[in-house]
A and B are shown apart, each in its own frame.
Chain A
Amino acid sequence: MSATLVAAGGSTPTLRRPSYAKYVGGRVLGALGSLAFVLVVNFFLFRVLPGDPARTLGRGRFRTEEQLEAFRATYGLDQPLPQQFLTFLKNTLTGDLGVSLRYRVPVSELILDRLWPTLLLVGTSTLLATIIGIYLGMVSAWNRGKTVDRVWTGSTLTLYSMPEWWLGLLLIATLAVGFGPVPGMFPTGGLHSVDADPGTFGYVLDTAWHLALPVTTLTLAYLADYALIMRSSLLDEIGEDYLVTARAKGLRDLQVRRRHAVPNALLPTTTLVAINLGFVVSGAITIETIFSIPGLGLLATEALSIPDYWVLQGVFLVASAAVILANLLANLLYGLLDPRVRT
């Protein structure tokens, strides 16, 4: 370590801190590298899956070997693997994600159709869970050991450990179907009513109404993540000397919390939020299943059983790209917030 330092010192007379631009460049290159890696791995990963799409789809429909061959030929499955790989690389680079083996429509269309339900569902839930979770964590930490802390930490933990599908079904059976004198107030599933007219304000309301239960379920399930991180990082700060100083200055308790403790405690939470935002795209398979929301998670799970190679590659590419991008953003943000990481 010291040897390299000496060597570095020898070549450049003054040791300078790397510039932010250089830091950004490095991170972006790294992200691009990861993406290229994912692209290649994706292709081979799914080819190793057991199963033959023509057989899975064609059971009871394609009667003869010729029919199976015709299906494989139509969708390029009869080509040797290296050639399929080249076609895949070429197509992906030109923005063509292939045609779904199951739905026979372009994968990019399928992903776009499924992307926004997932974004709406998981995005809204993550956002709500972040805001509520951070607030709860803050209140809990500030009142450590008091009833407020016990109630919030206890209940978020309970919700966290509950299976999401079970919580979802419970909400359907009560709030959607109705119980006793209480009528069912929400739909049991789906993203919007069949006769809703896209582009109107009613459509937006209708979608919000359909999403109420699934978003509630997911938010409740995600709460503990944020609440606990916020609670523990704020607890770390509470013992610090600068808070004593702040109090000594005569600041009121609320001001100490808001101006001094919380901003410092938010750093770990920022990382968590940034990383989780990346995972928004990959969806919430159980909730999408229970509430029949046509999202990306469901698309990928169902594609696995065929296996529908092109859909799997497409969804994983989009999902990985989102995670890589979110990480990149987190890194860049961190670089700004905390200069120490720019090494």
Chain B
Amino acid sequence: MFLGLPAMAPAAAEEADGGTVTFTVAMDNEVDSFNPFLGIEAESYEMWALMYDYLIGYSMQDMSPEPTGLAEDWDSSDDGLTWTFDIRDGITWSDGEPLTARDIAYTFNRVLDGGPEAQTWGSYLTSVTKITAPDDETVVLELSKPNAVLPLLPIPIIPEHVWSDVSEDQVKSYANEPEGGTPVVGSGPFRLVEGTAGGSTARFEARDDYWKGSPHVDEVVYRVFKSKDSAVQALIKGEVDYVEDVPALQVKALENQEGITAHFGDSPGFDEIAFNVGAVDTETGKPMGDGHEALKDPAFRFALGFAIDRERIIETAYQGAGEPGDSIIPPSYGDVRWEPPEDDRFTYDPERADELLTEAGYGTDASGNRLMPDGSDFGTLRLFARGESDTSVTVMDLFKEWLADLGIKAEITAMESNKLTNVILEGEFDAFEWGWYVEPDLDSMLSYLTCDQLGGWNDAWYCNEEYDRLYEEQNQAVDPEERVELMKEMQEIFYYDAAYLVTAYGATGEALRTDRFACFQPQPDPGGIWLFQYGVANYLNMRPADEAGDCDGIQNAVGVAGTSTSSSSGGDEGSSPWVPVAGGVVVLALLAGGGIWAFRRRATAAERE
């Protein structure tokens, strides 16, 4: 009954049908809200970036702020208390209205006024007291004290003439979705024509009057795939052109696939083993929980830094998708990252770990068991892994082995991260495995480790007054270079305090139909990811593979002429993925045969009885 249907089905891989070029993305999660004041998920951030513009852009090299957004220039007063932004002229909303400085001031003021709008964006306007637009091309921010995070303001700019009808009360359930065929009004390179929060697809139409030039594709479609295996199959078939966050093993399998390019891109973040440095009740300030005494000693924690074989972690737990880690700021942020000195860079050196432990007073008894400084029994360390992550569990398994080599007993508990959060907040652990994404401005990452965040995001219960003082200082530094020095000093302090032992800088697997689309510039460049970046550069760069040329001179772009992979048609598959399928068919046949045979045996046996 379905045989006649495939013919009428839209052939996704063909661009010939009506000439519409559609780029289809397979993503993991539904958009949680198209309303930029409500959404939190990474997928939503990607959609807003298609729909709206921002004051400031991000560089492709290292995600530093650059004047590729609505502001073509900016300046701050010498005391850092007044910021003036020059806004580009001649930009229009998708309904034809002009976008002016007033829209920008309106957006920021909605955030500044508090309410639901301030939930996600409030922290970017810390110490801002007044936002005005003296004319259509100028935005002025007045501050009570300097805020070093400026000019970075990653808030989507919304049209005043649309949103003035949405009161603060209404905003918390305002969907901002197309209604009755009318697309959402925005200023970005695409218009949202179809999509709902929690829906499984979203469709965007390119604007041909976008101020940076119109995109080279007509449509971008997002499809939610709840199973990575299905998403990869859809890519092989040509139903989708890009799959995000492809597991390491699948990246390797896809490497041999004709017409598909798969890679690991650096995504700025780190994974760590965190210790219970000293949980306290945030109200009374009294110690809380039951963390191990030895972990309150920085010398003990630092020594363990040499007990971890990070190469092996990358190989076993990450299947090669990542780089060994040391400090909390990944190498992609080269300019602001503090490099550990060669002598003290964590390497796998169990002898040095043993020496450092003994030096710090943690000797061993005759049979090699580690002892506390007062000679008492060391006891057992309780390690926690996030049960939903195989990587997390494997890392902790390895860590347990390495601890055993040093004469330290440990036991592992794997639990769902929701539950683990509770355990961490109660301080009833010794160590756990988790990770952080690091945003382009280090302020937020560095803030998570301040004493203020105890009981909040500071999950290692780390508190160092010197670190906190430096945090305040960098947060208000007027001179950018001075600020970088302060931030590096903080990284150094945290490194030697070793509340986190950074295990890995993860990499994200991505797969792309390079036989159909080209010109994706990695971010950070080189080595970075192709989509779900900071900014929308690649939605403007991407074009059909046969029109790639030199990609307007982007050197490291995927599919630049000369480096492009073979351009086979979507239907022509290599043989490798058929091995598992063929295997499956054989197993299926065996099972079915076996089942019949077993049943037959039982049936005849019953008859014989």
Give the chain B neighbours of A202 by CB distance below 8 A: 8
Q: How far is the CA of A76 from the CA of B541 in the complex (A)?
A: 44
| Cβ of A61 under 8 Å from chain B | yes
Q: How far is the CA of A202 from the CA of B7 in the complex (A)?
A: 12
| Cβ of A119 under 8 Å from chain B | no
Interface pair B123/A176, CB less than 8 Å apart = no
Q: Which of A3-11, A77-85, A101-109 contacts B (4 or more CB under 8 A)?
A: A101-109
Partner of A63, one of B234, B236, B239, B444: B444
| Cβ of B119 under 8 Å from chain A | yes
Q: How far is the CA of A152 from the CA of B103 in the complex (A)?
A: 69
Q: How many residues of B contact A (CB 8 A)?
A: 83
Q: How far is the CA of A41 from the CA of B581 in the complex (A)?
A: 45
Q: Given contacts A187-B239, A195-B10, A290-B230, is CB(A99)–CB(B421) below 8 Å?
A: no
Interface pair B198/A110, CB less than 8 Å apart = yes
Interface of chain B residues 200 through 235 with chain A (CB within 8 A): 200-201, 203, 221, 223-227, 229-231, 233-234
Interface pair B227/A158, CB less than 8 Å apart = no
Q: Given contacts A104-B173, A190-B201, A190-B223, is CB(A150)–CB(B596) below 8 Å?
A: yes
Give the chain B neighbours of A307 by CB distance below 8 A: 418
Q: Tell me the nearest residue of chain A to B38, going by C-beta.
A: A104
Q: Tell me the nearest residue of chain A to B575, going by C-beta.
A: A180
| Cβ of B6 under 8 Å from chain A | yes
| Cβ of A313 under 8 Å from chain B | no
Q: Tell me the nearest residue of chain A to B3, going by C-beta.
A: A185
Interface of chain A residues 49 through 93 with chain B (CB within 8 A): 49-52, 55-68, 70-71, 74
CB distance from B127 to the nearest CB of A (A): 13
Interface pair B419/A177, CB less than 8 Å apart = no
Q: Tell me the nearest residue of chain B to A189, going by C-beta.
A: B230
CB distance from B225 to the nearest CB of A (A): 5
CB distance from A74 to the nearest CB of B (A): 5
Interface pair B5/A292, CB less than 8 Å apart = no
Interface pair A113/B198, CB less than 8 Å apart = yes
Q: How far is the CA of A288 from the CA of B588 in the complex (A)?
A: 22
CB distance from B392 to the nearest CB of A (A): 15
A196-227 to B contact mask, C-beta < 8 Å, 1/0: 00000010011011001000000000000000
| Cβ of B9 under 8 Å from chain A | yes
Q: Tell me the nearest residue of chain A to B598, going by C-beta.
A: A154
Give the chain B neighbours of A61 by CB distance below 8 A: 40, 120
Q: How far is the CA of A166 from the CA of B587 in the complex (A)?
A: 11
Q: Given contacts A104-B32, A104-B38, A172-B230, is CB(A184)–CB(B200) below 8 Å?
A: no
A143-160 to B contact mask, C-beta < 8 Å, 1/0: 001000111011101100
Interface pair B201/A176, CB less than 8 Å apart = no
A13-56 to B contact mask, C-beta < 8 Å, 1/0: 00000000000000000000000000000000000011110011
A286-324 to B contact mask, C-beta < 8 Å, 1/0: 001111101000110000011100000000000000000
Interface pair B175/A191, CB less than 8 Å apart = no
Interface pair A157/B599, CB less than 8 Å apart = yes
CB distance from B444 to the nearest CB of A (A): 5
Interface pair B200/A292, CB less than 8 Å apart = yes
Give the chain A neighbours of B39 by CB distance below 8 A: 104
Interface pair A170/B581, CB less than 8 Å apart = yes
Interface pair B581/A173, CB less than 8 Å apart = yes
| Cβ of A268 under 8 Å from chain B | no
Give the chain B neighbours of A113 by CB distance below 8 A: 196, 198-199
| Cβ of A169 under 8 Å from chain B | yes
Partner of B203, one of A162, A186, A194: A194
| Cβ of B166 under 8 Å from chain A | no
Give the chain A neighbours of B118 by CB distance below 8 A: 67, 70
B178-200 to A contact mask, C-beta < 8 Å, 1/0: 00000000000000001011111
| Cβ of B422 under 8 Å from chain A | yes
| Cβ of A245 under 8 Å from chain B | no
| Cβ of A188 under 8 Å from chain B | yes
Give the chain B neighbours of A130 by CB distance below 8 A: none
| Cβ of A232 under 8 Å from chain B | no
Partner of A294, one of B2, B33, B224, B594: B224
Interface pair B123/A67, CB less than 8 Å apart = yes
Interface of chain B residues 1 through 27 with chain A (CB within 8 A): 2-3, 5-6, 8-10, 24
Interface pair A64/B230, CB less than 8 Å apart = no
CB distance from B453 to the nearest CB of A (A): 8
| Cβ of B437 under 8 Å from chain A | yes
| Cβ of B30 under 8 Å from chain A | yes
Interface pair B456/A209, CB less than 8 Å apart = no
A selection of 17 A-B contacts at a CB cut-off of 8 Å is A63-B447, A67-B120, A74-B116, A74-B119, A105-B33, A145-B603, A149-B603, A150-B603, A173-B584, A179-B581, A186-B2, A188-B237, A190-B223, A205-B5, A289-B226, A294-B200, A305-B416
Q: Which B residues have a C-beta under 8 Å from some C-beta of A? A: 2-3, 5-6, 8-10, 24, 30, 32-33, 35, 38-40, 114, 116, 118-120, 122-123, 172-173, 175, 194, 196-201, 203, 221, 223-227, 229-231, 233-234, 236-237, 239, 416-419, 421-422, 436-437, 439, 444, 447-448, 453, 455-457, 571, 573, 577-578, 580-581, 584-585, 588, 591-592, 594-600, 603, 607
For the complex with contacts A51-B421, A178-B571, 6 further pairs of A-B residues with Cβ separation under 8 Å are A50-B421, A63-B448, A169-B229, A170-B588, A190-B223, A195-B10
